[in-house]
Amino acid sequence: MQTSYSYLIIGSGAAGVGAATEIRKRDANSSVAIVSEEGACFYSKVLLTDYLRGKAAKEKLFLRDEAWFAKQKIDFLANVRVKRVDTVGKKVFTTKGALSYDKLLIASGVYPKKLQVSGADRDNVFCLWNMKDAERLEARIAEIKKSDKIKQRAAVIGGGFICQTFLKIFISRGLETHLLMRGDWYWPRFIGQEAGRLLEEKFLENNIILHKQEKVKDIAQDDDTLIIKTEKGKEIETSLVLAGIGTEPNIDFVAGTDIEIDDGILVDQFMKTSAPHVWACGDVVNFYDLVLETQHRQGNWANATRQGRIAGINMSGGHEVYEELTFFLIDVFGLKVMFLGDYGRDRADDVVVRMSVKQKKAREYYFKDNRLIGACLVGAPEDRLLIEAAIKAKIELNKEQRLELADENIPLGQSKLYANK
């Protein structure tokens, strides 16, 4: 086994593989290796839900196979976990020995938070983060479908972005589906109550049973049935639980190094860390956003792919900045929900909400020091290009202009945000 590489990459997701691809384009001869905790080659985690819904065959999830890595002369070190990084000695210590590097990329992503309640470690309490999780969940769903109808139940715990995909899995498989969330509406960290009600309508249309303002206290078991007990005394019987309560950056192995950490690995616009010869990209980073002129961590497939490309360019001698506006689209049972820019409501000092009740549209605009920094468009994807342009142009609205923007009776075209319409 080779133990020294010109380019060593920790992580086999979109960011890591994207960087390796770019490096190989620019440097045909130097040694490149990807260290992966997983046994599978590069696949789309985004499509795991399609696999579980029966909309995509398992083999369709794989985007690169062993033959591709071999052809590119990229060593794919599968089933290897990184234990520690030594940025002074330029070594990575793994479960299969030490590896030396000239240049290191950390694209280790995030991992799902675990439920911190009694019974969370039971066999039929799942998370969905990788291929192994999906295979276990698929086996359990298939088992449930063979049982009596009364036992064909599933419960989702959490109010994160990923939970709505969990709901779609269970509904598509014909399971009675429950959603437990702490808030009074879905995604309270990211959207307001008005927008949340639009999502709730979609859940109810799809026969999802909502349990709002409920905090799980315990998950008991009676034979093959799980019993979710809440702090308010409610008990919900189910055959499986799938939790989605957030993520944490996968960075334990950099503890004690000179890599600066703040809600992820801090990187500049070149994807460079504070340590020499070390870059980072993808969900694990708190990156400098040139558009918004601030540091933040916003993990999604598009950001990871684009950041991986920039990291690969700069590691192999280039000098290119990451200057992209964060954007992603979520389909919630046919309702298009779009996030643009900095969508952290808690980072805005003013949130302007414009509801179009008859059209079932909700627009949320996030301002800081009068400047538009982000937006959430629920049912209004047609606004995307105009809002992107307004954020990039650093458009500012005073208090009176923001009040007019919120008024449904005043045409949107009269706002500076929509001036180019």
pLDDT, tens digit, 9 for 90 and up, residues 394-412: 999 999 999 999 999 998 8
Residue 52 domain-assigned (yes or no):
no
- Location of structure tokens 């290191």: 104
Residue 116 domain-assigned (yes or no):
no
Shared domain for 273 and 235, answered yes or no, is: no
Residue 138 domain-assigned (yes or no):
yes
Can you give the residue range of the structural domain that contains 25? 4-38+61-111+248-315
Element (H, E) at 112: strand 110-112
* Domain termination residue (choose one: 207, 228, 243): 243
Model pLDDT, residue 420: 58
What are the beta bridge partners of residue 336?
Answer: 331
CATH number of the domain bearing residue 183: 3.50.50.60
Shared domain for 81 and 29, answered yes or no, is: yes
CATH number of the domain bearing residue 364: 3.30.390.30
Shared domain for 105 and 9, answered yes or no, is: yes
Residue 119 domain-assigned (yes or no):
no
**Separation of alpha carbons 129 and 198, rounded Å:** 27
Residue 401's CB: how many other CB atoms inside 10 A? 16
- Location of structure tokens 């014909």: 174
Model pLDDT, residue 159: 84
Shared domain for 227 and 137, answered yes or no, is: yes
Shared domain for 361 and 414, answered yes or no, is: yes
* Domain termination residue (choose one: 243, 277, 303): 243
Residues of the chain with pLDDT under 50: none
* Domain termination residue (choose one: 292, 315, 338): 315
How many structural domains are present in the chain? 3
DSSP letters of 32-59?
Answer: EEEE-SSSS-SB-GGGHHHHHTTSS-GG
